[in-house]
Amino acid sequence: MRNQKPAKLFNIKAVDRVIQAGHKTLVMGIVNATPDSFSRDGCFKNKNDVSVVVRRALHQVKCGADIIDIGGESSRPGSLRLSEKEEMARVIPAITLLAKKIEVPISVDTYKTKVAQVALDAGAVIVNNIQGTCLNKSLIKMITRYKAAIVLMHMQGTPRTMQKNVSYRGDVVEQIIKELVKAKVECLNMGMLPEQIILDPGIGFGKTVEHNLEILARLNEFSKLKCPVLVGTSCKNFIGQILDKNVEERLNGTLATVCVSIMNGAHIVRVHDVKENKEAAAVVDEIVKLRK
């Protein structure tokens, strides 16, 4: 790690905003507008829970979140696809209210074109697409028209199947990089600007414990993609397997992975516990600045 350079600086274009990445690590706060999140922090049990979602997001902002990521469909292993109608009922009212209350950029965690478009109309400026390497052309074209930013995440399979018989041909990091490069090129060919694209190797999405650890150890190799890199390790199962801890006891493990991610070039970390991760990131950022 000693000879690695600090993360490259990027200006992410997201509708009418420019989000600077690389000057410091950006902390993306997770807001699960779901009843069945793997992290058990889902804050949508019924149609009257919009205020709970909003309060959760406002708390994340108070704790220092640089971006708020709101999702209405669980992507935990084994989860099923949600209808557009139900997903929008969970996220759109909350995004509409939050856009009037906060200056922090809002991201919508979805891969569905209609949900993303209505969310952008409501005030979101980023689409966090977990199916980023299986491109939905209508989604990409719509995001391009809106000049929004997109997170292209790598996932093998679907949430329902991704952890069954996980395997890669050859080097897992090289394979992920290859698929992300292909997705990026396809987006550019459809008119998207390079400044709109954020890439995510997809920790925990169709990967074994060993795959996840190798990605984190070699994260600096993703710098060749010339895009901001987002990493989401928060409370995930591989941490639980290493520590033999349930999801409520994985904060320390999460902090360790976040620190390693930043040291190895991550620009954005997506987390549940914003305050603790924000403080850890601030310390690591100061260390990274000293690299020659």
Tell me which residues are annotated as active site. Answer: 236, 270
Which residues on adjacent β-strands are paired with residue 197?
Answer: 150
The secondary structure of residue 232, as a DSSP letter, is -
Amino acid symbol at 255: L
Q: What is the DSSP string of 103-168?
A: -S-EEEE---HHHHHHHHHHT--EEEETTTTS--HHHHHHHHHHT-EEEEE--SS-TTTTTSS---
Tokens for 98? 């939050």
Tokens for 157? 């399979």
Element (H, E) at 243: helix 237-243
> Cα(46)–Cα(202) distance, rounded to whole angstroms?
29
Q: In what order do the strands lie in the sheet with 106-109?
A: 197-200, 149-153, 126-129, 106-109, 67-71, 26-32, 268-271, 230-231
Find out whether 34 and 71 touch, Cβ atoms under 8 Å: yes
Instruction: State whether residue 18 is helix, strand or coil.
Output: strand
